[in-house]
Structure 1
Amino acid sequence: MTTYTLHLPRDARPGDPAALDEAEIVKDGFSWGAFFFTVLWFFFHRLWLAGLIVLVALAAFNAGLNLIGVNPFAGFVAEVLLSVLIGLEANSLRRWTYERRGRPLADVVIASSKDEAEAKAFARWLQRPAPSRIPVSSPVSSPLSSAIRPSRGVEPVIGLFPDAERPR
């Protein structure tokens, strides 16, 4: 099973089917397309900034290998390892680009294929109720404020325990 992430526009409301027209599903794992086609894969997915960064990194890496006079076989192995790194991080760069463009992470789905992940994510999105607003007249009378406000005085906690030790 593979993990997939759903990216929707920032202003999308839960349960709104119109938001799913602009949905993007991204696999969380190795990208064979990015491994074999590197920069072309980034440009195909319209990841212009990430593609340019990868292009500059590849050019600088090859120039560095030529500058220090690395054995051709060792240079080939180094380039394959760099391509493996790009394949591992390509989908993370894709998620970063979507976040930067105003399409934050909306859901995470575990599925065996992209089609199954899309069906699960869309079904979960459509089943979510619209968020309701809780009217708050004053911060003291709010039901949420009593949960946030500490019940006793503020005491510093030292160590890894979540609560300070109660006095005996």
Structure 2
Amino acid sequence: MLGRARVYSVHASPAAAPEDWVLVPEGFSWGAFVFSWMWLAYRRLWLALGLFLGVLVAIGLARVLTGFDAGTHATLVLAAMVFLGLEGNDLRRARLEARGWRELGVVGARSLDEAEVAMLARFAPAAAVAAPVPQGLYQRIGPAAEGGMGQTMPGIA
């Protein structure tokens, strides 16, 4: 099944090899929206985690002190989660930048695997040529398997 292409920003640490560069997808982060504080902890976004938990506590205190109903409380919590989904990947990019990583540019691909190949081909041509082909990505078929001329088919495991 063909998926829609996504755009990923490419981030490189001065000390990291091209294989260790980070791809951050552009757009809404469903993981941040659904798992909120757990996603922030997993991504080690500690300041954002503290602020998010502070917002949740403030919403809870406001409900206790003002007595607004459960529907309003749920709406405010949902709004905080939507905001986190909208800004989650930008928070990741800001953290990488604060740690000295630089953004090299963007690549477009249908999957994370395709984005990694495009990243290496565009930003590290020497590394892309020297990089081993992942197991299962390509498989020789036909006479080539026995050493003759054949064709290479992508995605056959």
TM-score by length of 1: 0.66
Of residues 28, 38, 62 in structure 2, which corresponds to 1:30? 28
Whether 1:8 aligns to 2:12 is yes
C-alpha RMSD of the superposition: 1.8
Label 1:115 to 1:54 Cα distance change in 2 as closer, same or farther (>3 A): same
In the alignment, which residue of structure 2 is the partner of 1:89? 87
Which runs of no fewer than 5 residues in structure 2 stay unpaired? Answer: 127-157
Aligned residue in 1 for 2:150: none
Describe the shift of the 1:107–1:74 C-alpha distance in structure 2 as closer, same or farther (beyond 3 A): same
Which piece of structure 1 moves more, 110-119 or 97-106? 110-119
Deviation at 1:112, TM superposition (A): 1.7
Q: Which runs of 5+ in 1 are unaligned?
A: 13-17, 129-168
Contact kept in structure 2, 1:4 and 1:25, CA below 8 Å: yes
Match of 2:155 in 1: none
Deviation at 1:51, TM superposition (A): 1.8
Aligned ranges for residues 15-164 of structure 1 at < 5 Å? 19-127=17-125
Larger RCO of the pair (alpha carbons < 8 Å, separation 6+): 1
Q: 2: CA distance between counterparts of 1:65 and 1:104?
A: 42
Comparing 115-124 with 88-97, which one deviates more in the overlay?
Answer: 115-124
* CA-to-aligned-CA distance 1:56-79 (integer Å, 9 cap, x gap): 222223322332221111211221
Select between 55-64 and 74-83 the one with higher mean Cα deviation. Answer: 55-64
For residues 63 and 21 of structure 1, what CA distance do their matches in structure 2 show? 46
Asked which structure has the greater CA Rg, the reply is 1
- In 2, distance between residues paired with 1:106 and 1:61? 39
User: 1:4, 1:109 within 8 Å by CA — same for their partners in 2?
Assistant: yes
Offset of residue 22 of structure 1: 2.5
Number of residues of Structure 1 aligned to a counterpart in Structure 2: 122
| TM-score, normalised via structure 2 length | 0.70
Cα 1:88/1:52, change in 2 over 3 Å: same
